[in-house]
């Protein structure tokens, strides 16, 4: 049986905050990687509203993104990681 998704518990070293990183198949050609802020027991504060959600079209790309987020959230400050993934979707600022 094939796995339907990935799931990792992450404890951030700089802040000691906990996160859940989840990647699931949304449909035939869409995968969603979501990051949830979690409590001490790794229970998400809100399952319906992830703190970060990224849609990818390819399974390999989704798995790579999942592992990259897991590693970065373990080692880097969470705000910086979230900003790196939210900036491309924000409107371009004028110079």
Least confident range from 59-63, 74-78, 79-83, 85-89: namely: 85-89
pLDDT for 88 equals 60
**What is the average pLDDT value for the chain, to the nearest integer?**
89
Q: What is the mean pLDDT of residues 44-61?
A: 93
CA distance 29 to 59: 8
- Which pLDDT does position 5 carry in this prediction? 81
Max Cα separation, the chain?
52
The whole-model pTM stands at: 0.83
Residue 94 resides in a domain = no
Question: Residue 61 domain-assigned?
Answer: yes
User: The domain containing residue 11 runs over which residues?
Assistant: 5-88
Mean pLDDT of all residues in 11-28: 95
In a domain, 95, yes or no: no
Q: Give how many domains the chain has, as a whole number.
A: 1
Residue 30 lies in a domain: yes
pLDDT at 94 over 70: no
Domain membership of residue 73 (yes or no) is: yes
């Amino acid at each position: 049986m094939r796995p339907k998704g990935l799931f990792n518990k992450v404890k951030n070293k700089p802040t000691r905050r906990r996160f859940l990183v989840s990647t699931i198949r949304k449909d035939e050609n869409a995968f969603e990687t979501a990051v949830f802020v979690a409590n001490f027991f790794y229970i998400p504060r809100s399952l319906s509203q992830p703190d970060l959600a990224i849609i990818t079209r390819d399974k390999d790309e989704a798995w790579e993104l999942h592992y990259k987020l897991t590693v970065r959230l373990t080692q880097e400050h969470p705000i910086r990681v979230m900003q790196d993934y939210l900036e491309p979707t924000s409107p371009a600022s004028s110079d």
